[in-house]
Amino acid sequence: MERDVQLRIDLASPVPVYRQIVETLRTYLVEDAIVAGDVLPSVRTLAAELGVHFNTVAQAYRELATEGWVDVSHGKTVKVLERSEPQKADKAAVDRFRTRMRRLIAEARAQGIAPHTVSSELKALAEALK
């Protein structure tokens, strides 16, 4: 990756490694830490860097390609694409989002994170998206 971004995985996590890769890269993409035109490491290079099988990285890249984030050409570079804003979310998508947020907030509270900290973090993240 051309920019100073770190991709770390937790092999002990119950979250599959390919999902960790997708979620981390998607976060960097949404936050513009990785932008259109950037070149990501090849499947084999990233797999070697992370110490995982190349099929794991290939699966993550395929998912990002399906979402319209990257162009993956066999034997070529993985390039970040210009991506238009997605269509407005329907009610079901908003409901799924709300459910995920409630679970995440409940997890944070269970770990002792104060409500004002949760609130200020959410506000800061929302501001960064504007």
pLDDT digit string (tens) for 47-91? 999 999 999 999 999 999 999 999 998 777 899 999 877 778 889
Is the same domain home to 96 and 54? no
Q: How confident is the model at residue 128 (pLDDT cuts 50, 70, 90)?
A: confident
CA dist 38 → 3, 26, 77, 89 (Å): 8, 14, 10, 27
- Give 78's Cβ-side CA count (13 Å radius): 23
Q: How is 58-88 classified by DSSP, letter by letter?
A: HHHHHHHHHTTSEEE-TTS-EEEPP-PPPPP
pLDDT digit string (tens) for 1-47? 555 678 999 999 999 999 999 999 999 998 889 999 999 999 999 99
Is the same domain home to 70 and 97? no
> Given this model, what pLDDT does residue 87 score?
73
Backbone angle region of 32, left / alpha / beta, with phi > 0 → left and psi within -120 to 50 → alpha: left
**Nearby residues of 112 by Cβ (< 8 Å), 6 or more positions away:** none
Is the same domain home to 33 and 71? yes
Range of the domain at 113: 91-129
**78: helix, coil or strand?**
strand
Kindly state the tokens that stand for 43.
């499947």
Is the same domain home to 49 and 96? no
Is the same domain home to 64 and 119? no
> Given this model, what pLDDT does residue 76 score?
76
Is the same domain home to 58 and 98? no
Domain count, the chain: 2
Is the same domain home to 63 and 111? no
> Given this model, what pLDDT does residue 3 score?
58
pLDDT digit string (tens) for 93-122? 899 999 999 999 999 999 999 999 999 999
Is the same domain home to 125 and 95? yes
- The number of angstroms, rounded, from the C-alpha of 126 to the middle of its chain's C-alpha atoms is 16
Q: What is the CATH number of the domain that holds 26?
A: 1.10.10.10
